[in-house]
Amino acid sequence: MVGRSVQRFILVSPKKVKPVLDLIRGKPVHEARWILEMNRKRKLASIILKGLKAAVASYQEKAGTEARPDEELVVLTAKVDRGPILKRWRAAWRGRAVMRRRRMSHITIEVTEGR
């Protein structure tokens, strides 16, 4: 049984999300929470922590009465996909305009029982 959380349209570049997800992939949930709380300096860590809590809640809801405590759950997958790109214009020198691309991410976290 798998608990899953998908966060879509997060206004952070996938390039910045990937290293944080690499830190928690394959770790027990209680350890992953600790890692994300220690990285609170990044805005992104609190967003991923919220998704992790949602995945655990989803798992416990599916499991019902036989739900496992957090110590026995493991982060099965933690991946990021590219979302849409917002295109904005910024003034540049000599009357020109430069396009800024604001990239978005879709973050997927899956939690299951430890092996």
pTM: 0.89
Please report, in angstroms and rounded to a whole number, the separation of the first and last CA atoms in the chain.
12
Domain boundaries, the chain: 2-113
Q: What is the DSSP string of 28-52?
A: BHHHHHHHHHHTTTSHHHHHHHHHH
CATH class for the region spanning 2-113: alpha beta
Average of pLDDT values for 79-103? 97
Tell me the per-residue pLDDT of 61-88, one tens digit each, with 9 for 90 and over: 988 867 677 778 999 999 999 999 999 9
Q: pLDDT category, 115, cuts 50, 70, 90?
A: low
Listed in sequence order, the residues at least 6 apart from 70 whose beta carbon sits closer than 8 Å to its beta carbon are 28, 29, 30, 33, 56
CB atoms within 10 A of CB 12: 20
